Each structure stands twice: as structure tokens, then as C-alpha cells.
Amino acid sequence: MKNIQSKENARLWIIPAFLGLIFAASILAPLACMFFNIDGASLNKVFSKGELPTVIGNSLLSATLTTLVSLTLAYLLALCTERSAMPSKGLFRVLITLPMLIPSVSIGMGTVLLGGNNGLLINLLGMDSTHVYGLVGIVWGSVMYALPVAYLMISNILKYEDCSPYEAARVLGISKYRQFAAITLPYLRKPMIAAAFSVFTLSFTDYGVPLMVGGKFKTLPMVMYQEVIGQLDFGQGSVYGVILLTPAVIAFLLDLLNKNRANGSFVIRPFEPPKQTLRDGAAFVTTLFLTILSLLPILSFAVLAFVRKYPADLSLTFDHVFKTLQMGGGKYLVNSVIISLCVSVIGVILCVLCAYFSARAVSAMSRFLHLVAMATAAIPGVVLGLSYVLFYKSTPLYGSLALLVIVNTVHFFASPYLMIYTSFSKINENLEAVASTLGIGKLRLLKDVLLPTCRQTVAEMLSFFFVNCMMTISAVSFLANTSNKPIALMINQFEAQAQMEAAAVVSLLILTVNIAVKVVTSCIKSER
């Protein structure tokens, strides 16, 4: 028995070592290549222009404003859905998160369609023009993009808060203000810090919204994109990439320290708000208003895609859909689905193995695997894409569909990994010892016991990989060509060609596919 166990342990060393090699080739080596690509001439070009402090300041300002507004609105939404007995809460929870299923560049385009010259809101309100381009437009679009993310994080915080301290406070006659100061704020402090870091990083590293509505108000990702795509200056792009990577890494490290020091809590009694007509009515109206605001970009796509010619001819037509498919939309949609399916399967397998060997089958490689897996969350997609160009451009992988699969797997690795890592960590830690006593190997235990136990988590991981791959543009924009291009990149192309109807159709196609995947995931999770 001991010999069999020793042989299995020897074989199991191969898997974490192989995972370590994968991380080295797909994360560490490309980033190192980007760092080494920086030379004196590139540094001189970037710093001699004099616009760098302004660009960094613009990025910090827009990201800070977006974070403040998003967290405020998200907290208000979460209070309405979790602390009231208003009707249709389940429906609102779904509708609020729909903007997460389309690319940020679509949100930016939706902002233009709503608030630009001849925009839907402009015509509806009878206004002549608006200053949507610049800081206002970036914050507006970024808030619509980040609000669903912030809402999900905060609503989950409120959902699992224990009701018992508040009941005790009411019995003791403690005022609502003192309850908020003494109970709510300490409970929310660390999770809200984590939410703030997530939203700030999301908006700071995004170039989709600024690219559409930034105008002369340039942000760091926007400048980096223009340098690499527009001028093919990889040296300057590398300098901007390193600068862009720095705040994201700092935010990630602070968030990681904040989470490590957070205290766990147990829900003794969940909140079950009693019905109060005035409060529930106000919550319903507030939620309805904010939900409509968050869905306005999607509604603008629907108007533009299915009317003959906005605003001259508002008759319904499917001509724009057929035209978009004939211009390559169908082909590139198939590309996106293939890439997303491959990333979903490969990503889940790698996440499961990495989480198992870092959470349960602990070895000398475990800490390294966990840190590198979590560190992928701090790498902006645009930086990852550029590093892949520099590292893989002289290899057979460059220009292939396989490279898009690899970069997307790395880009979205951290969240699914954390999902399954947390699930594995909660399962009885003595299972491996029992399995060893019975002569059951660790991989068989993983396949027959752990994975079936975590079936819902695995389904959520598959959905996460697929949905994000369908709508990403940052990581693949530097790597795709005409043969393997994902459909999300057509939004930029059509917008540049002033074919806004086709761009709206592409956004709706991505949304439709992602909704279908979410529905299937929900069905799988609901099965028992």
C-alpha cells in the first residue's frame, strides 16, 4: 500500500509542476518580455511629450468619480432589493446585471447614441446638443458599465448580514442612526473597500468607454491603445503598459490584504423585511428608475438595430441584422463561440487542478500556484494583450485561434479559480486521508467526490469564462486578425465606419448569446 501511495505522490508532482510551467509561459514570460522591451528611446518619447501627467490624472479622476458614483447607486439599489419587501425583486436582480453581458465599448457607444448629437435622450427631451464627449461621458458610460458589478458585490454583502444585532439594538431602544454607526458601518467597511478596489480597477484599466466618448479627454488605456494599434509603436506601448499595470497591482495587493484580514461571520437570522407600503413603494420606484437608466444603452441598441433609419424613419425592419451577418457578423460570431467554448473547458480544467493542488493536495508548489493564479486579476487585458504580441510574435502560435484561447484563459482565470478554491476549502479536509486509507487515489477522489459536490460552482465557472470571452476586446484587440477575429471587435470597426446600426446589431447578438448561456447555467444549477 505504501509503495502504491508513494508512486501516486510521485505522479502527482507532475501536475503542479506542469501547471507551474503553463503559468510561466503564459503569464510571467510575456510580462517580462514587455518589461525588457522598454528602452531609452521609448522612455524619452513618452516622457518628452509632456502629456503623461495629464493622462494619468485624467484616468485617476475618471476612475475615482466612477467608483464614488457606482458604489453610491449600487448601495442604494442593494438596500432596495435586500432591505425591503418590494415586488419583483428577482426580476430586478436579473435586469440590473444585463449590462455585464455586453462589452464596455458597447456601453460607450450606447452613451453616444443616448447623449450625443441627435441622440435618443436628446431628441426625447427636446435638447439641441450635449457635452457627452469628455469626462462627463466617460463617467456616465463607466458608471453604467460598473454599476452591475458593484451592485452584485454589495447585494451579496447585505444578503448575508445577520439580523440578530439589529433586533437586539431595537429591544434596547438604540436609534437607527446609532445602529448604522455601530453595526452597519463596521460590517460594511472591509467588503466596501474590496468593492471600491474592484470598481476602481475596472474603470481605470478600461479603454472601451473612453475610446467611444473620451474625445480630447485622454485616459491611459486609450493612449496605449492608440499607440499600439494606430502607430504600431510597441516600445511606447510597453511604457504605458507598465504604468497602467502599477495602479492595478497596488489596488490588487491592498484588496488582497484587506480580504486576508477580514473576519468571517455566521448568519444566525437572515433579514426578512416586513411589508411597509411607503418604504416598499419608494424602493420599487427607485429600483425601477435606476434599472431603466442602466438598461438605456441596451434599449438604444434595440431602437437603432430594428428601425429603418433613426430618426427619419422609425418603421421596423430586420435589414440591419441581415446586412451585419453578410458583412462577416455570422463568421465572427462563430469564432467567438468557438473561442469561448474552448476557454470555458480549458479554463475550468486548469482552475480545478490549480485549486486542488493549492487548497487540498498541498505541496511546495501550492503557494506559488495560488499567488500566480490570483495575480492574474491585477493584469489589465490591454497590458496582457500587448505582452503576448511581444512574446509570441515570432512563434507559430502568433495569429492563431489558439493564442486567443490562451490569452482569454489567463485574462479571466482569477475569478473562476477563486470560486472553486473557496468551494474546495469548505469541504471536509479529512477526505484525502480517508481516501488514502481506502486505497482511493487523489485524482479519483477529485473526479468522483469533490467535483460532483461542487457542481453548481463548476457551472458558474463555465458561464463566467464563456460570457466574458464573448464580450472582451482588450486582451484580443492586439492579437486578432481577419480570419480569427471575435465578433466584439467588429463594434470598433463599424463605429469607425459610421455604421452604427451594424454595431448595435453586434452588441445585441453578443447579449443574446450570453443570456442564453446564463439561462442554461441557471437550469443546471437548479437541478438536484
Could you read off the pLDDT of 325-365 as tens digits, one per residue? 888 888 999 999 999 999 999 999 999 999 988 888 777 78
Q: Please check whether residue 145 is in contact with residue 212, taking contact to mean a CB–CB distance below 8 angstroms.
A: no
Same domain, 288 and 342: no
Residue 211, pLDDT score: 84
Lowest mean pLDDT among 194-208, 425-439, 445-459: 425-439
Residue 423, pLDDT score: 84
Pairing type for strands 313-316 and 307-309 reads antiparallel
Residue 202, pLDDT score: 86
Rounded distance, CA 327 to CA 313, Å? 23
Is residue 42 included in any domain, yes or no? Answer: no
Rounded distance, CA 138 to CA 120, Å? 18
Same domain, 183 and 250: yes
Same domain, 165 and 299: yes
Lowest mean pLDDT among 14-23, 307-316, 461-470, 517-526: 307-316
In the listed set 291, 317, 343, which residue is the last one of a domain according to the structure?
317
Say what percent of the chain tops pLDDT 90. 18
Residue type, 115: G
Same domain, 311 and 374: no
Same domain, 356 and 485: yes
Domain count, the chain: 2
> Binning pLDDT at 50, 70 and 90, where does residue 1 land?
very low
Q: Taking Cα atoms as reference points, which of 326, 376, 320, 322 lies closest to residue 347? A: 376
Q: Please check whether residue 205 is in contact with residue 381, taking contact to mean a CB–CB distance below 8 angstroms.
A: yes
Residue 511, pLDDT score: 92
Is residue 366 included in any domain, yes or no? Answer: yes
Is a pLDDT exceeding 50 seen at residue 97? yes
Residue 262, pLDDT score: 44
Is residue 45 included in any domain, yes or no? Answer: no
Same domain, 310 and 324: no
Same domain, 306 and 339: no
Is residue 262 included in any domain, yes or no? Answer: yes
Q: Please check whether residue 311 is in contact with residue 302, taking contact to mean a CB–CB distance below 8 angstroms.
A: no
In the listed set 288, 317, 346, which residue is the last one of a domain according to the structure?
317
Same domain, 271 and 192: yes
Of the two residues 492 and 227, the one the predictor is more confident about is: 492
What are the φ and ψ backbone dihedral angles of 317, each rounded to 5 degrees? -160, 155
Helix, strand, or coil here: 309? strand
Is residue 510 included in any domain, yes or no? Answer: yes
Q: What 8-state DSSP symbol labels residue 314?
A: E
Same domain, 327 and 306: no
Q: Which residue has the cell 485617476?
A: 60
Query: In this structure, what CATH number is given to the domain that contains residue 384?
Result: 1.10.3720.10
Radius of gyration of the chain (CA): 24
Q: Contacts from 14-22 at CB under 8 Å and sequence distance 24+?
A: 15/353, 15/357, 16/357, 16/361, 16/363, 16/365, 16/366, 16/369, 17/365, 19/350, 19/353, 19/354, 19/357, 19/365, 19/369, 20/365, 20/368, 20/369, 22/350
Is residue 41 included in any domain, yes or no? Answer: no
Q: Which residue has the cell 485622454?
A: 218
Quickly count: other Cβ atoms within 10 Å of residue 235's Cβ. 17
Is residue 253 included in any domain, yes or no? Answer: yes
Same domain, 287 and 325: no
Bridge partners, 313 (sequence order): 309
Range list of H helices, 308-329 = 319-324
Of the two residues 150 and 157, the one the predictor is more confident about is: 150
What residues make up the domain containing 146? Answer: 52-317
The mean pLDDT of the chain is 83
Is a pLDDT exceeding 70 seen at residue 451? yes
Q: What is the pLDDT of residues 114-130, one digit of tens each?
A: 877 667 777 766 665 55
Q: Please check whether residue 301 is in contact with residue 491, taking contact to mean a CB–CB distance below 8 angstroms.
A: no
Rounded distance, CA 346 to CA 353, Å? 11
Is a pLDDT exceeding 70 seen at residue 514? yes
Q: Please check whether residue 56 is in contact with residue 243, taking contact to mean a CB–CB distance below 8 angstroms.
A: yes
Q: What is the pLDDT of residues 58-90, one digit of tens each?
A: 999 999 999 999 999 999 998 898 888 888 888
In the listed set 317, 332, 356, which residue is the last one of a domain according to the structure?
317
Bridge partners, 316 (sequence order): 307
Bridge partners, 307 (sequence order): 316
Same domain, 301 and 376: no
Is residue 218 included in any domain, yes or no? Answer: yes
Say what percent of the chain tops pLDDT 70. 89
Same domain, 136 and 279: yes
> Binning pLDDT at 50, 70 and 90, where does residue 269 land?
low
